[in-house]
Amino acid sequence: MATPPVSTDGTVAVPPDVPDPDTLADTFSVYEIETHDEGIRYYGEPLADREEVLQRLAPVFRQQGYRVTLQRETGEFVLVASERSMTVDGIPWMNVILVLATVLTTLFAGARWYGATPLSEPASLLSAWPFAASVMGVLAVHELGHYVLSRYHRVQATLPYFIPIPNVLGTLGAVIRMKDNIPSRKALFDIGVAGPLAGLVVTVVVTIIGVSLPPVEVGTDSLVAQIELGWPLLIQAIAAAMGESLTYSDPGVIPNPVVIGGWVGAFVTFLNLLPVGQLDGAHVTRAVIGDHIDRVQILVPGALLALAGYLVAFENGRGATLWVIWALLTLVFTRVGSATPVDKSPVDRKRQAIAAVTLILGALCFAPVPIVFAP
């Protein structure tokens, strides 16, 4: 229920714990205020463009415990101030339910990678726990990297949401949502780069463990025996350093399913480091080069389509469909936009160097044909 407070002398009244309209007058001229359970709504006229309004006012609201957005509703401009909270209120049931569902779907997928038939042998689900642990481990650490650095920079963010799906991997990944104004390019960089780097550490560990474990015989008629994975250079280098193979001459024999967890970590890292939209690569790139990201990200869909065209021309189209889909997705991502920090001061040289190393590591996670079903 909205309540517009008006003082007895006819001027707009405001609760004591939020910025007074007079302090906003140089940037946003307020003519009405509504209070809601979720925060305060200032109706008025912006005296600058949207980005400049937020750049000026976000620090003011942040100091008093609020995040702020500028919206246009039914012809009126509204400055919406929502209370910030760095705590988790109660049990995050949606996160818990999605974790449990993803455990189940990754166990089901993993049983197939171990050559079992989980529909006829439900007990085989439990034997697939190494696969489920490796896949969920790389995803969880990736997202927790973002979450920990969000907390460090006092940016409100959700706990990770896992995405269960009954495919050959059991999941489409995991995400967190930042529900706050990003205070600076430094904060945007740290939050954006923490996920890929944390996930890569676990990817390397999982891959080392996986290639050290014995291969698995799944049978030539198994679904997973028809799947060909393209191993990125990072995974190949780890296997070579361990003196282990990723391919076998015997049909129906595949690497230990734990290695698939490493493949997932590498694939997720590469996709997330694409410099477009709300992906980690866009956060890192914007933090380093600022608004020039707009010129960079428009190149991404074209580059992916060019890759798909190459695969059609020289690889009989193997893997081309995947990159066409991602080209379309990144085109949508460019329309959504990317996170914009309030303070646009450049990041230091140390972070610039870390960005370069991260992007190189991301390139090592690339495989032109990541996954195909063999005919």
Is residue 332 a part of any domain in this protein? yes
Q: What is the pLDDT of residue 225?
A: 81
Residue 4 lies in a domain: no
Q: What is the DSSP letter of 213?
A: S
Regarding whether 121 and 46 lie in a shared domain, the answer is no
Same domain, 103 and 175: yes
- Residue 3 lies inside a defined structural domain of this protein: no
Instruction: Identify whether 9 is part of a domain.
Output: no
CA 67 to chain CA centroid, Å, is 21
Q: Measured on CA atoms in the order 196, 201, 207, 209, is the torsion positive or negative?
A: negative
Residues 127, 204 within the same domain: yes
The predicted pLDDT at position 12 comes to 53
Q: What pLDDT, on a 0 to 100 scale, did the predictor assign at position 196?
A: 97
- The answer to the question of residue 310 being in a domain is yes
What's the rounded Cα separation, in Å, for the pair 223 and 168? 9
| Domain end point (choices 32, 54, 83) | 83
Give residue 284's pLDDT: 96
Q: Strand order in 66-73's β-sheet?
A: 28-36, 39-46, 76-83, 66-73
Q: Are residues 72 and 103 in the same domain?
A: no
* Closest of 267, 272, 325, 322 to residue 135, by C-alpha: 267
Running DSSP on this structure, what letter comes out for residue 178?
A: B
Tell me: do 61 and 134 sit in the same domain. Answer: no
Host domain of residue 35? 21-83
| Vertex 159 angle, CA 154 and 160, to 5° | 130
Q: Give me the pLDDT at residue 20, please.
A: 84
* Domain containing residue 26: CATH number: 3.90.1070
Output Rg (C-alpha) for the chain, integer angstroms: 24
Number of independent structural domains in the chain: 2
Q: Do residues 157 and 110 share a domain?
A: yes
Query: Would residue 246 count as lying in a domain?
Result: yes
Same domain assignment for residues 140 and 27: no
- Residue 13 within a domain: no
Instruction: Let me know whether 78 and 108 are in one domain.
Output: no
Counting Cβ atoms within 10 Å, is residue 95 exposed (0-12), middle (13-18) or buried (19+)? middle
pTM over 0.85: yes
| Domain-terminating residue out of 83, 108, 128 | 83
Residues 137 and 36 in one domain: no
Report, as ranges of residue numbers, the positions in the chain whose pLDDT lies below 50: 1-2, 5-10
Name the domain boundary from 60, 83, 106: 83
Q: Is 9 exposed, middle or buried (0-12, 13-18, 19+ CB in 10 A)?
A: exposed
Looking at the structure, tell me whether residues 52 and 187 fall in a common domain: no
pLDDT at position 13 is 58
Question: What pLDDT is stored for residue 8 in this prediction?
Answer: 35
- 261 & 163 share domain: yes
Residues 149 and 37 in one domain: no
What is the structure's pLDDT at 375?
63
In a domain, 281, yes or no: yes
